[in-house]
Chains A and B, each alone.
Chain A
Amino acid sequence: MTILTDSTAPEASDLSLVGGKALGLARMTAGGIPVAPWLTVSTRVHRAFLEQTQLNLRIERVINAIDWSSQDSLADAERQIAAIFAETPVPSDIAEDVVAGYRGLAERLGVPELSVAVRSSATAEDTADSSFAGEYETYVGITGAEQVVEYVKLCWASGFTAHALAYAHDRGFSPLAVSMAVVVQKTVKARAAGVMFTLSPATGDRSRIVVEASWGIGLAVVGGEVTPDRYAVDKVSLTILDRIPGDKKIEYLDGQTSTPVDDARQAQLCLSDSEVLELARLGKALEKQQGGPQDIEFAIDRELADGANIILLQCRPETVWSTRKRAAAAALPLMDQVAASVFGLGKPGSADSAGSAGSPGKRAFVLTEVGHAH
């Protein structure tokens, strides 16, 4: 298997085969976190491409000539290697595999002209840092099989930008030692999107989940251009306590321009109860997994079937309340506690108490760039 479409297959979790980014996606999926559907063009395809086209040798010659102390020399190398890639077509058997993979994905999702992001997912043996986060290119808004093949090749080429060359050199390995898998992932077509906090932003109450959402992609919510609908959910019983319609005058359907929302949809809640509850369930699970309250960005994909249309885009530890020490838990004598609680005499707890035990180790993970169209 060179094109991996099943995130549950053992190969999908083989770092040397899929690279850091795809491994992250597989792990999130395994952990019950819904991300946009994807396939991975494995590192085997990358190897096969380099070998069949003999690009290895040509690139090696360019690299050997680099003066590592000169930015100009690095930029020149980048240009040369890019030109080499540009004039080298993808061999037909490899291209056919990628085309078949892309078409299969489109068919599986029932979206004929599937728009995708094409994302580098690199790995290198003997390197401590195998994620290469942000080192290599991602291209968004790509449509059509031939385009996808072209952009897969561009991802491979992005292993040899001036920046990537210097990055490898500084860490003591050859840029050619990097194996480059490529993730081809559905572009999220958000019907609605927004943010979810697994506590109450107003009071810090950890038994609450608050969801804010508006029409279109998340830009309008994050940028404060609309008053989003607001949903309050009881985290314990998973029941919706409150649905407050916002003022959703505009929506972004892509990353560029906003369009007005008609009156009927302005007043209509943009999430169904079942979507809110499913989000809350995910939020609750993520909080458990991450060991503390989370701040999560999500989208509801309009092209995917109900029940499989929630996509999480980003997840960070909540910082405002989670880092605040709660004045509580001073072990007051029982009767003082009673006097304080029932009659408001004295203060329940005391301010100099130990407070909360801090937040256990948390890491943010970015699920996919809510990007600008390419």
Chain B
Amino acid sequence: MSTSDHFPFIREFQPPAGAEGWERMYPYFLTSQPEGEQLEDERLWFADTMHWSRAVYPLDSIGAEAVYLGAGQNSARIFALPTSLGLDMRVVNGYVYISPTGITDPDVINERLVHFQERAGYYFANWEELYEQWKNKMTSVVEAMRGIDFPALAEYEPIEVVTEARGRSTAWDLIASYHKLIDDFFVAWQYHFEFLNLGYGGYITFFQTCKQFFPEISDQSVARMVAGVDVLAFRPDDELRGLARKAVELGVDSIVSSGDDPAAIIASLRDSENGRAWIDALETAKDPWFNYFAEYGFLHDQDTWLSNPSIPFAGIARYIEMLQGGEEIARDVAKLRTERDAIVAEYRGLLAEDEAAQFDGMLQLARTVFPFIEEHNIYVEHWTHSVFFQKLRELSARLVEVGFFADAEDMYLLNRIELDEVLADVVQSHVIGVPARGVQKWRAEVAERKGMMTALRSQAAAPALGTPPAEITDPFAIMNYGVTTERIRDWLGQSSGEGALTGAAASPGVVEGMARVILTEKDLPQLQPGEILVAPITAPSWGAAFSVASAVVTDIGGMMCHAAIVCREYGLSAVVGTGFATSRIKTGQRIRVNGDDGTVTIIGEAEEAA
């Protein structure tokens, strides 16, 4: 098969059987409309499987809205990035696709540059102070969401409505709280991008400085010089290590690592004083560190450590096992820092004096902005999303309670705008005192959409659609998603499905081993020691998996994705952004992961996998 110069067009990209008519599930402006077709053909769209590794339920598509609203407003309108507006977005066959919007008119660029210098300059000049403020804003918005209440629809309004002369019903809060939840979620995502692109900008500036002095320097060498060794990103996994150590100290390790259901483990721990002491430690660690997704928390059906305690318990059990085997499980932060400083000193030592001064300045900039890059996910993707989805579960329970939906999962088959209509129906009919009008309509629709979702999720995302530009220049597409000119060329060539997979060499070393393809966090326990983890994307919450796997391969991501950052920290070889790893590699096959040149080769057919 010859290499084409473009990927399939969005308009001709057929849905899988059983998903016909899928478009109606999403807000109309997220799907292809006639006005946009020419734009869709002419531009490159790549699958954002980093955030949405599976087809998104209609309600979950709010995440795509919030992310690209936040990204867009900060790039295009607030900081006025000179050469790019926001990332355009479409839902195609349930998957989220995005497309950079470049600016090429020099007059426009110059005009925007003036604004950018002033606006971004203000942030760089006051970064640390503004970042402290940001943490407070984030904490407040998470707390506000946590305080949102969806009251039950009662036969009679509480007496306080009368005695406090409120004049408004608690039933109305079902609608008001929903609006507030949506609003807070959008706000949190605007905060998310307040610093992100500028942070990447600071990092890229250091990166380019290094490239100027060392034209052949690898991305990972640059990344290693700025990596924070002691950032929040590692904290949840560090908590698991601490709990493992505590279990051994208290002599309750055999109970904690028994592999039983966490509830049963807790029950048997209550029988002893030491057991109760361990439970106390667990409870302390939980808030906030277990507000933590095992994957990127963009889908309502993804588990957090809170919603599925067996995930952190499995991690703790693994660390206990390592401790019992006499292994040291603490991340040696001092050693990592020493290594990092030694690398910096070596590169610096190769420079002339004036060059070294410039290098220092840019390294300082990168190190100032980098903590945000590494830590922001904890606040937004984990804490905010954990609370957001928890609140949606509470709302869903109310709708089941009043008999609107048969099942708690049904609500997610409506998009956020349809859900607003349903709440209007439910509250208005309740206060009037008549049955809701849309139960049959929505139950029939939900039944049909369940089938559609199953069909959409049976098919992997194509890595890209549309027409690639001659040259990918969008710095964030390159940095964050690993979508480079070269990668696009690989993907075009890969359509034939032969030869080695290529991606970004994210973390060095060559490793051969058996592949374990993990599509969702639910499959994580299948990963055996020494196997190579192959996943659409990894999240840092897979901490325990990083202690087990011998190497990591992902479909999506660049040098700065979490798999890359964490693998460098753990010293695991990694190739990210291969586009097709999870669809081409089968569990049980022997593969060779070359983290030095970014290739992944299948070297042996599948044996019987354990």
Contact = CB atoms under 8 A, between A and B. Distances in A.
Contact of A329 (B109, B200, B358): B358
A341 B208 CA distance: 6
Interface in B309-335: none
B362 A337 contact: yes
Contacts of A341: 204-205, 207-209
Query: Among the interface residues B217, B346, B350, which one has the most CB atoms of the partner chain A within 10 A?
Result: B350
A334 B365 contact: yes
B216 A342 contact: no
B588 to A, nearest CB: 30
Contacts of A336: 117
A357 B120 contact: no
Contact of B212 (A334, A349, A355): A349
A354 interface: yes
B201 interface: yes
B247 interface: no
B127 to A, nearest CB: 11
Given A208-B216, A329-B355, A344 B473 contact: yes
Given A208-B216, A236-B343, A335-B117, A342 B352 contact: no
B201 A338 contact: yes
A274 interface: no
Contacts of B351: 206
Contact of B82 (A206, A334, A345): A345
Given A348-B212, A349-B212, A338 B205 contact: yes
Contacts of A342: 200-201, 204-205, 208, 475
Contact of A339 (B117, B221, B357, B361): B117
A334 B209 CA distance: 12
Contacts of A237: 221, 343, 508
A53 interface: no
B105 interface: no
Given A205-B216, A207-B347, A328-B213, A236 B221 contact: yes
Interface string A302-340: 000000000000000000000000101101001111111
B217 A339 contact: no
Nearest to B359: A329
Contact of A206 (B83, B121, B350, B508): B350
Interface string B103-132: 000000100010011001100100000000
B214 interface: yes
Contacts of B82: 339, 343, 345
Interface in B351-391: 351-355, 357-358, 361-362, 365
Contacts of B113: 339, 343, 345
A335 B473 CA distance: 19
B94 interface: no
Interface string B194-223: 000000111011011100111111100100
A133 interface: no
B240 interface: no
A353 interface: yes
A237 to B, nearest CB: 7
A357 B365 CA distance: 25
A76 interface: no
B350 A334 contact: no
A200 interface: yes
B81 interface: yes
Nearest to B207: A341
**Chain A interface mostly helix, strand, loop or mixed?**
loop
Say which size band chain A's interface belongs to.
35 or more
Contacts of A331: 357-358, 361
Given A338-B205, A353-B354, A344 B124 contact: no
A241 B596 contact: yes
Contact of B475 (A329, A335, A343, A355): A343
A343 B355 contact: no
Contacts of B347: 207, 236
A328 B356 CA distance: 11
B445 to A, nearest CB: 46
Interface string A352-364: 0111110000000
Nearest to B354: A329
Interface residues of B, number: 44
**Chain B interface mostly helix, strand, loop or mixed?**
helix
Given A236-B346, A237-B221, A356-B352, A343 B117 contact: no
A204 B346 contact: no
B45 to A, nearest CB: 22
Contacts of A137: none
Contacts of A11: none
Contacts of A205: 214-217
B353 A357 contact: yes
Contacts of A206: 213-214, 350-351
Given A337-B362, A342-B475, A328 B212 contact: yes
Interface in B226-277: none
A203 interface: yes
A237 B220 CA distance: 12
A345 B111 CA distance: 12
Contact of B357 (A203, A207, A329): A329
A344 B471 CA distance: 13
Contacts of B213: 206, 326, 328
A5 to B, nearest CB: 38
Contact of A348 (B208, B214, B216, B343): B208
A97 interface: no
A201 to B, nearest CB: 11
B352 A357 contact: yes
Contacts of B217: 205, 207
B475 A356 contact: no
Nearest to A198: B350
Nearest to A330: B358
Nearest to B83: A343
B358 A207 contact: no
A234 interface: yes
A348 B508 CA distance: 29
Contacts of A349: 212, 358
Nearest to A353: B354
Given A237-B221, A339-B113, A334 B214 contact: no
B3 to A, nearest CB: 25
A54 interface: no
Given A236-B343, A356-B355, A203 B215 contact: yes
Contacts of B124: 334-335, 338
A239 interface: yes
Contacts of B218: 234, 241
B287 to A, nearest CB: 38
A337 B117 CA distance: 10
B215 A339 contact: no
Contact of B215 (A204, A241, A354): A204
A355 B350 CA distance: 14
B358 to A, nearest CB: 5
A183 B353 CA distance: 42
Nearest to A325: B352
Given A331-B358, A335-B121, 20 more contacts: A203-B216, A207-B216, A208-B216, A232-B216, A235-B350, A236-B346, A236-B347, A237-B221, A237-B508, A329-B357, A335-B124, A336-B117, A337-B205, A339-B116, A341-B208, A343-B81, A343-B109, A345-B83, A349-B358, A357-B354
Q: Which 7 A-B residue pairs are closest in the complex by CB-CB distance?
A: A341-B208, A203-B215, A341-B205, A356-B352, A357-B352, A205-B216, A206-B350
25 contacts: A203-B216, A206-B350, A207-B221, A237-B221, A237-B343, A237-B508, A239-B596, A241-B596, A328-B358, A331-B358, A334-B365, A335-B116, A338-B120, A338-B124, A339-B117, A341-B204, A342-B204, A343-B81, A343-B475, A344-B83, A345-B82, A348-B212, A354-B354, A356-B352, A356-B355
